[in-house]
Structure 1
Amino acid sequence: MNVSCECQNVVFKTPLAKPLALYICHCHQCKRQSSSAFGASAIFPRFPLPCPEFLAVYTRPTASGHTVNCYFCKTCGTRLIHSTPGKSVVSVKGGCIEGLDWKMAKHIWVKRAMVPIPEGAEVLEEEPDYDPYICRTTDLLENGKMDAGAA
């Protein structure tokens, strides 16, 4: 999948043809970061940071006690990637990705939602502690039992 910031200084392809998961997050941090009613995050296996010369980082604590590195374009300020040290996955900001299948999205932190959640959407009151699909797929990729194109 093609990813780019607003000014096109940062352009890259995701390591898989589709994300392991797609979350529409209604937490306070995502609302502030996106300047909107929610944020969108596509989850991919960790990959090398693209175009590091064009990226800056803002590091912040999370509600769960972790630290998250928030990478954004130095020129236009578009937030592109979130990465938590020690985790095997990263979050690519959904609005920067061409061709996402939004029907697969899970809505999280819905207890803080400012807009109606689509009928039939999968919802969680807060964030998932554990997503078995992500854990299983990441394990298979890391152990060479699954081709990245098949995930």
Structure 2
Amino acid sequence: MASSDAKPLTAQCQCGYVSFPTPTAKPITMYYCHCTECQRQSGSAFGTSAIFPAEGLFPLSPELESRLKVFRRPTNNGRSLDCYFCSECGSRMIHRIISADGTPRSSVSIKGGCIEGLDWNGKMHIFTRSAVMKIPVEWEQYDTLPPWMKMD
């Protein structure tokens, strides 16, 4: 099957109340984040983010929007992060960065544990300076962000 014919994956919360197709069949990139914010939101040693284009998911359909709640928290550099979660079970599902001027980023993070059929192999680890587990030296890793991620 050609990659252009590949079907989107399905993202679903823990209870099944929220379910939607990913904007594309594969994420743009994916990473394991070891920052303390991701540790808190995941209740684990790290968070898993699969990055997809926002187009095709945003604006949210009225049905999807009615099933999600959003928590906005400040980030570095005057930005904020919209954190979407299931209004029934509370599963964190989508993150979207909003710039200081209010412009939403053209990509979104869909939390990896919510995506059925996601390829988990060979992904990078970021914010390893906060890691609470040993990360093998042969795995791609960065103390904070890789240089190409540091732009807005």
TM-score range, shorter chain: 0.7 to 0.9
Q: Which residue of 2 aligns with 1:99?
A: 117
Q: 1:52 is matched by which residue type in structure 2?
A: E
Given that 1:15 and 1:45 are in contact with CA atoms closer than 8 Å, whether structure 2 keeps it comes out as yes
Q: Which residue of 2 aligns with 1:24?
A: 32
Q: Which residue of 1 aligns with 2:93?
A: 80
Instruction: Identify which of 10, 13, 19 aligns with 1:5.
Output: 13
Q: 2:66 is matched by which residue type in structure 1?
A: E
Instruction: Please list, as runs of the form range in 1=range in 2, the aligned pairs for 1:27-106 lying within 5 A after superposition.
Output: 27-46=35-54, 47-48=57-58, 49=60, 51-85=64-98, 86-106=104-124
Q: Which residue of 2 aligns with 1:116?
A: 134
- 3-state DSSP class of the match of 2:129? helix
Instruction: Please list, as runs of the form range in 1=range in 2, the aligned pairs for 1:106-145 lying within 5 A after superposition.
Output: 106-128=124-146, 130-131=148-149
Identity %: 47
Q: 2:10 is matched by which residue type in structure 1?
A: N
Cα RMSD, aligned residues only: 1.4
Once the 2 structures are TM-superposed, how far is the Cα of residue 21 of structure 1 from its aligned partner? 0.6
Q: Size of the alignment, in residue pairs?
A: 131
- CA offsets per residue over residues 59-91 of structure 1, 9 Å max, x none? 001134310000000000000000112311000
- CA offsets per residue over residues 24-53 of structure 1, 9 Å max, x none? 000010000001110000000012225111
Q: 2:124 is matched by which residue type in structure 1?
A: K
Q: Which residue of 2 aligns with 1:14?
A: 22
Runs of 4+ with >4 A deviation: none
- 3-state DSSP class of the match of 1:87? coil
Structure 2 distance, partners of 1:100, 1:118, is 22
- 3-state DSSP class of the match of 1:103? coil
Structure 1 distance, partners of 2:147, 2:108, is 15
- CA offsets per residue over residues 124-150 of structure 1, 9 Å max, x none? 11023534xxxxxxxxxxxxxxxxxxx
